[in-house]
Amino acid sequence: SALSQLLSMGFAEDTAKIALQETKGHVDRATALLLGDTDAARADEDDEVWGDGEGLLADLAASLEQGRPAVMVVERKAVAKAGAGKLKKYLSLLHADTTGSKEQLRDRLYDLLFAGEEGGRATVPITLPPPRAPPQLDHSISKSGLAKLKVGEMKERLKQYGLPRSGTKPELLRRLERHLFPDSKPSNGGDEAASSSKAERVKKEKKKGTKGSATAPGSCGSGASSGRP
């Protein structure tokens, strides 16, 4: 089958399926699409050689691991009649700005793809977007500022510091305080104190329950052994 042929060439399955879908099942055109051979990828006059790139980024990493370049072949006429949504998808694949009116998006895409030339199509290599930089943390935050953070914000800080993120909000707070303010006393005596206090409460509850069951009515009270009716 067409898919089998592309898989035998080393393309990732999802990427191969996308290429076949975009080229209407033509193996040669799909191969050319993935390898960037625009002559072989040339479609019928009414075709858009590449659609909106839907699903490509999801399998881009696998395609690059196979050592195959991922490319996007775009027709000028496809850009001319594309709506704002499709223009934004084109731009996002190129890691370009996707804000502005439809006319601004189209002009931006024309500049990126054709650079003022009058050619009818452009072939653009697609790369993985750069990894997002972790949010910059305010290391000068005070203890009172820590206490005002939400649980999610506390967990994000703990993640940045390489600390465990499990537990209740007070436990998260004390963990942050110990890391940022090692010389000060943690709130409520720290996690250990909280665990110790909880253990003491459980122990007292068990002791109380045992004592109550020993004096419960009908157990072995004085009335039962007195012989009274």
Rounded Cα gap, residues 70 and 116, in angstroms? 24
Q: Residue 38: its pLDDT value, please?
A: 47
| CA distance linking residue 200 with residue 212, whole number of Å | 18
Residues 3 and 11: their CA atoms lie apart, in Å, by 10
The confidence score (pLDDT) of residue 61 equals 47
Handedness of CA 111, 112, 118, 121 (dihedral sign): negative
Q: Could you tell me if 128 and 64 are in contact, meaning their C-beta atoms sit under 8 angstroms apart? A: yes
- Domain coordinates of the chain in residue numbers? 2-125, 143-209
Of 49, 8, 2, 7, which is closest to residue 27 (Cα–Cα)? 2
pLDDT at site 192: 44
- Please tell me the number of Cα atoms within 13 Å of 122 on its side-chain side: 19
Closest CA to 37 of 71, 4, 60: 71
Single-letter amino acid, residue 19: A
What confidence score (pLDDT) does residue 69 get?
Answer: 56
Q: Nearest-CA neighbor of 47 among 71, 17, 14, 25? A: 25
Q: How many residues does the chain have?
A: 229
How far apart CA 204 and CA 219 sit, in angstroms, is 22
How far is the C-alpha of 59 from the C-alpha of 41, rounded, in Å?
21
Distances (CA, A) of 48 to 52, 187, 224: 10, 64, 96
Q: What is the pLDDT of residue 189?
A: 43
> Can you list the residues of the chain whose pLDDT is less than 70?
1, 5-6, 8-12, 14-15, 19-73, 116-119, 123-139, 185-229
Return the pLDDT at 78: 77
pLDDT of res. 26: 66
Q: At what angle are helices 102-114 and 84-93 packed, to 10 degrees?
A: 40
What pLDDT was estimated at residue 119? 65
DSSP SS3 for 225? helix
